[in-house]
Amino acid sequence: MTNQPIPYANEPRPDTGLRNNRLGLWLVLASEIMLFAGLFSALAFLRIGSTDWPTSALEHGLPLINSFVVAASVLVILFAGRAVTRHEGEFRLLWSLGLGLGLLVLFIRSAEWSILLGIGRLPSTHNLFGIYFVLTGVHAVLLAGNLAVNGWILVTGASLARQDPARHRERVYGAIVHWLALVVVWFAIMIGFFV
């Protein structure tokens, strides 16, 4: 078995202008959109169909703080994306900062869950908590996966940027687009539960 590189992974195919890795990325995003559409559909059914929907029973302070951290991470990640083609040192600094903010988001989320579970607001006690834990849990798993990829880019990126800058740039592009998609889902969760 030969180790053939995937054609047109990092450079556009001349006739269609399509990169194979970007096509794969958008297919993954499409599957995640459908996953979250199903969960948000369940939320709409439960919320509108319920006569008793105690939104005030959820923890409000930590999700609000987390939203600011998520918004800050978007800025940092976008600036890192701009720096990837210009200055490797600046990119590594901003990327590390974005990774740190992502880990902070997960930490605050786990603290919020601990508070909710500690005061007996289990997924089994009300549909509100059930769908809240499912939605935020799926989101946290995907966020953790994105952070693992970001960490891998940080560790392997320096040598790859020297050997194959286009490949490095495409990896960063994919991680950023996925991060932005998760941020959109984050704010949809905030609107769905707290507005």
Partner 1 sequence: MKRRFRIRRYHAPPGLAVVWLVWPLNAYACPVCFGEPDSSQTRGLQAAILLLGGVAGLLVTGIAAMVFTIRRRAGRNAP
Chain residues that interact with partner 1, rule: CB under 8 A: 14-18, 26, 30, 33-34, 37-38, 40-42, 44-51
Using CA atoms in the order 86, 87, 90, 96, what is the torsion angle rounded to 10 degrees? 90
DSSP state of 55: G
CB of 48 to partner 1, least distance (A): 4
Of the two residues 93 and 138, which places its CB atom closer to partner 1 in the complex?
138
- Cα(105)–Cα(57) distance, rounded to whole angstroms? 21
CB of 122 to partner 1, least distance (A): 23
Of the two residues 29 and 65, which places its CB atom closer to partner 1 in the complex?
29
Tell me the Ramachandran region of residue 17: left when phi exceeds 0, alpha when psi lies from -120 to 50, beta otherwise: left
- Cα(97)–Cα(3) distance, rounded to whole angstroms? 35
CB of 36 to partner 1, least distance (A): 8
DSSP state of 56: G
Of the two residues 30 and 75, which places its CB atom closer to partner 1 in the complex?
30
CB of 32 to partner 1, least distance (A): 11
Of the two residues 130 and 151, which places its CB atom closer to partner 1 in the complex?
130
